[in-house]
Amino acid sequence: MNVYHFKKGTEICNYSYASSILSIRLNRQRLIVCLEESIYIHNIKDMKLLKTILDTPPNATGLCALSINHSNSYLAYPGSSTTGEIVLYDGNHLKTVCTIPAHDGPLAALTFNSAGSKLASASEKGTVIRVFSVPDGQKLYEFRRGMKRYVNISSLVFSMDSQFLCASSNTETVHIFKLEHLTDSRPEEPPTWSGYMGKMFMAATNYLPSQVSGMMSQDRAFATVRLNFSGQRNICVLSTIQKLPRLLVTTSDGHLYIYNLDSQDGGECILIKKHSLLGPRKMEENKENDLRPLLPQSYAATVARQSTMPSTSSMPGYSEDGGALRGEVIPEHEFATGPVCLDDENEFPPINLCRGSQSGKVKRS
| Phi-psi sector, 242: left (phi>0), alpha (psi -120 to 50), beta | left
**What pLDDT was estimated at residue 239?**
93
Of all residues in the chain, what percent carry a pLDDT higher than 90?
A: 52
One-letter identity of residue 263: S
Q: Who wins on pLDDT, 99 or 295?
A: 99
Sheet holding 49-54, edge to edge: 23-26, 30-34, 38-43, 49-54
- CATH topology assigned to domain 152-180+220-280: Thrombin, subunit H (2.40.10)
Sequence-distant (≥ 6) Cβ neighbours of residue 238 within 8 angstroms: 157, 158, 159, 160, 164, 166, 176, 245, 246, 247, 248, 261
Torsion-angle region of residue 316: left (phi > 0), alpha (psi -120 to 50) or beta? beta
User: What is the pLDDT, as a whole number, of residue 206?
Assistant: 52
Band of pLDDT at residue 218, cut at 50, 70 and 90 = low
pLDDT given at position 5: 84
The pLDDT value given to residue 353: 40
- In tens, the pLDDT along 220-236 reads 899 999 998 888 889 99
Domain coordinates in residue numbering, the chain: 23-150, 152-180+220-280
Confidence at residue 87, expressed as pLDDT on a 0 to 100 scale: 98
Q: Answer with the residue of higher pLDDT: 205 or 106.
A: 106
> Does pLDDT of 249 surpass 50?
yes
In sequence order, the 6+-apart residues with CB closer than 8 A to the CB of 356 are none
Per residue in 50-107, pLDDT tens? 999 999 999 999 999 999 999 999 999 999 999 999 999 999 999 999 999 999 999 9
pLDDT tens string 131-155: 999 999 999 999 987 656 678 899 9
Q: Are the CB atoms for 314 and 329 separated by under 8 Å?
A: yes
192 vs 208: CA distance, rounded Å:
25
- The correct CATH number of 23-150 out of 3.30.420.130, 3.30.1300.10, 2.130.10.10, 3.40.50.920 is 2.130.10.10
What Å distances lie between residue 157 and 110, 170, 193, 247, CA to CA?
9, 16, 40, 11
pLDDT at residue 291 above 90? no
The answer to whether 153 touches 171, Cβ cutoff 8 Å, is no
Write the burial class of residue 26 (CB in 10 Å: 0-12 exposed, 13-18 middle, 19+ buried). Answer: buried
**For residues 87 and 120, is the Cβ–Cβ distance under 8 A?**
no
Contact 254, 267 (CB under 8 A): no
Write down the pLDDT at residue 12.
87
Contact 76, 65 (CB under 8 A): yes
Contacts of residue 284, defined as CB under 8 A and 6 or more positions apart, other chains included, come to none
